């Protein structure tokens, strides 16, 4: 059994994880950026599927913390002192290393593999293979702090946390990161050192780098919200089609400003021949929307409308349902996924002949 464990540990540190991990950059995976803090990211391939990722909001933050090797020497010393050697060698370890001005803290979380995997070779005993990488996350915050900073963090995604010692003995990480920072400074398309820009830089094991998705942090963007709904107006349930276009000044702003167009359809049965008639009435509205934040607690989550308020006037009338001077006021009071509940009031002129309404809306 001891021989089995020794072979397993050796394979894990050399080839085991390499067999089970993708060679593509982590930041090219769908929704990968949400796993790492920061608006901009630098990913450096360290070889053998080991990866350095730096998440940051401003380039000067990386410049101030670019001596990673010194931090890794501290981590190795502290980790060896507290490592739990009774854990399964195939479990994944997440280490959170907090650096304060006068102290340090290390939190370890273990995740067992969901399946047990083996590798076989002729005339050899079966070797258990590790399929999940270990993660070291480094943050600069007091050791007693509960919250993790959302503007800067360093990640090492490793086959095994003990690979850090091998990386340090091979020359460390500082030179590889410095090469990535030089690529940032020498980029021709934009001034990536500007705090107004966000981007992702990917550096391969060969030292070659490429910048993807550079853009202004403060750029406005358009949120298009088509939906269908049913509303209670004048004691009658009527369907509607809705389109609201909202402009958000930048990804940090939660308030959007926009215009909307709503077509409401009333159905009425003729007293003469019993046939049904459709009366379409359209409203043009202007309003504001308040959005929630993503998990990073910084950028706007367009799919999470917390509340809204709008005012509209009729632009097309048919039937006797609305007067020409009708004012429609309403807003989102409840939002759960695609479903919105919007109380409304209608009035002829300024608060004359006021009557309430209610609209249930489903977006798509």
Whether 239 and 193 map to the same domain: the answer is no
Average pLDDT, the chain: 86
Q: 267 lies in which domain range? A: 221-363
Report the residue count for the chain.
364
Which of 216, 245, 267 is the last residue before a domain boundary?
A: 216
Whether 131 and 29 map to the same domain: the answer is yes
CA 125 → CA 7, 9, 119, 301, distances in Å?
A: 9, 14, 9, 52
CA 307 → CA 144, 193, 255, 285, 302, distances in Å?
A: 36, 36, 10, 16, 12
> Quick one: pLDDT band at residue 17, thresholds 50, 70, 90?
very low
Whether 335 and 211 map to the same domain: the answer is no
Question: How is residue 242 written in tokens?
Answer: 């809705």
Contact 211, 201 (CB under 8 A): yes
Cα 262 from Cα 336, distance rounded (Å): 21
Q: How many CB atoms lie within 10 A of CB 237?
A: 11
Cα 292 from Cα 248, distance rounded (Å): 12
pLDDT digits (tens, 9 = 90+) for 271-308: 777 788 899 999 999 999 998 877 656 667 777 888 99
Which of 216, 243, 274 is the last residue before a domain boundary?
A: 216
Which residues have a Cβ under 8 Å from the Cβ of 197 and sit 6 or more positions away? 40, 190, 191, 214, 215, 216, 217
At 16 the three-state DSSP class reads helix
Cα 135 from Cα 109, distance rounded (Å): 10
User: Has this prediction a pTM greater than 0.85?
Assistant: no
pLDDT at residue 9, as a whole number: 43
Whether 59 and 82 map to the same domain: the answer is yes
Whether 195 and 50 map to the same domain: the answer is yes
In the chain, the N- to C-terminal Cα span, in Å, equals: 57
- CATH number assigned to the domain comprising residue 343: 2.40.160
- Name which of 312-316, 318-322, 341-345 the model is least confident about: 318-322
Question: Is residue 320's pLDDT more than 90?
Answer: no
Cα 145 from Cα 137, distance rounded (Å): 15
Question: Is residue 160's pLDDT more than 80?
Answer: yes
Which residues have a Cβ under 8 Å from the Cβ of 183 and sit 6 or more positions away? 201, 203, 209, 211
Whether 27 and 116 map to the same domain: the answer is yes
Cα 205 from Cα 49, distance rounded (Å): 10
Whether 301 and 212 map to the same domain: the answer is no
Question: Is residue 138's pLDDT more than 90?
Answer: yes
Whether 270 and 289 map to the same domain: the answer is yes
pLDDT digits (tens, 9 = 90+) for 335-363: 888 899 999 999 998 888 899 999 999 98
Give the total number of structural domains in the chain.
2
pLDDT at residue 211, as a whole number: 92
Whether 272 and 131 map to the same domain: the answer is no
Whether 289 and 202 map to the same domain: the answer is no
Q: Tokens 């509607």, residue?
A: 240
Q: Tokens 């940032």, residue?
A: 184
pLDDT at residue 353, as a whole number: 87
Which of 216, 245, 278 is the last residue before a domain boundary?
A: 216
Whether 182 and 255 map to the same domain: the answer is no
Whether 212 and 315 map to the same domain: the answer is no
pLDDT at residue 315, as a whole number: 95
Q: How many CB atoms lie within 10 A of CB 208?
A: 11
């Amino acid at each position: 059994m001891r021989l089995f464990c020794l072979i397993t540990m050796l394979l894990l540190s050399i080839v085991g994880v390499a067999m089970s991990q993708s060679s593509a950059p982590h930041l090219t995976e769908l929704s990968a950026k949400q796993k790492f803090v920061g608006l901009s990211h630098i990913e450096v391939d360290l070889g053998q599927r080991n990866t350095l990722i730096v998440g940051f909001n401003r380039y000067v933050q990386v410049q101030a913390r670019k001596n990673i090797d010194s931090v890794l020497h501290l981590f190795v010393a502290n980790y060896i002192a507290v490592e739990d050697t009774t854990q399964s060698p195939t479990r994944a370890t997440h280490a959170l290393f907090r650096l304060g001005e006068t102290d340090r803290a290390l939190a370890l979380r273990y995740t067992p593999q969901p399946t047990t995997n083996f590798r076989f070779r002729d005339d050899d005993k079966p070797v258990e293979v590790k399929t999940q990488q270990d993660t070291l996350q480094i943050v600069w915050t007091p050791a007693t702090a509960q919250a993790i900073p959302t503007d800067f963090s360093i990640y090492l995604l490793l086959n095994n946390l003990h690979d850090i010692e091998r990386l340090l003995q091979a020359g460390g990480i500082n030179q590889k990161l410095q090469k990535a920072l030089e690529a940032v400074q020498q980029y021709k398309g934009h001034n990536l050192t500007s705090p107004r820009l966000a981007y992702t830089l990917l550096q391969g094991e060969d030292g070659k780098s490429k910048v993807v998705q550079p853009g202004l942090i403060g750029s406005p963007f358009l949120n298009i919200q088509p939906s269908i709904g049913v509303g209670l107006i004048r004691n009658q349930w009527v369907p509607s089609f809705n389109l609201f276009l909202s402009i958000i000044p930048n990804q940090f702003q939660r308030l959007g400003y926009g215009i909307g167009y709503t077509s409401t359809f009333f159905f009425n049965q003729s007293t003469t021949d019993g046939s049904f008639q459709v009366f379409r009435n359209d409203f043009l509205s202007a309003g504001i929307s308040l959005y929630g934040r993503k998990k990073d607690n910084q950028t706007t989550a367009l799919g999470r409308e917390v509340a809204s308020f709008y005012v509209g006037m009729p632009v097309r009338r048919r039937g006797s349902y609305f007067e020409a001077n009708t004012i429609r006021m309403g807003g989102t009071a409840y939002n759960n996924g695609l479903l919105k509940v919007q109380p409304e009031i209608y009035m002829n002129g300024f608060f004359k002949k006021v009557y309430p309404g209610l609209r249930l809306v489903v977006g798509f």
